[in-house]
Amino acid sequence: MDKRLLKILRCPVSHKGLSLLTKDKLERVNAAIAAGNLVNHEGSQLAKPLAEALITDDGKRIYPVADGIPVLLEGESISMEQLA
């Protein structure tokens, strides 16, 4: 992901900055998806693992990245509280 793009992207809900989700957190998210334990903001259960994702600066919400394009839709966001 282009670092210049990351500097201007913001969470559409909280308006916090975004950064790439670290590999270890992405692995935790994908393990939870595989176990059937994660839903997005709309309430849809996630079925496919994420290849890449963005996380808000406060660490509360992640957004999937599909084919290199950030999906910054509130309904597609995932609350990190589900992993606690």
The answer to whether 47 and 34 have CB atoms below 8 angstroms apart is no
Name the strand (E) or helix (H) holding 75: none
What average pLDDT is seen over the chain? Answer: 94
pLDDT reported for residue 22: 96
pLDDT reported for residue 57: 96
Angle CA(11)–CA(17)–CA(20) in degrees, nearest 5? Answer: 95
What lies within 8 Å, CB to CB, of 22 at 6+ separation is none
pLDDT reported for residue 6: 86
Q: Which pLDDT band holds residue 84 (cuts at 50, 70, 90)?
A: confident
Amino acid identity of residue 75, one-letter, is: G
pLDDT reported for residue 56: 97
C-alpha to C-alpha distance for 45 and 33, rounded to whole angstroms: 8
pLDDT of residue 3 exceeding 90:
no
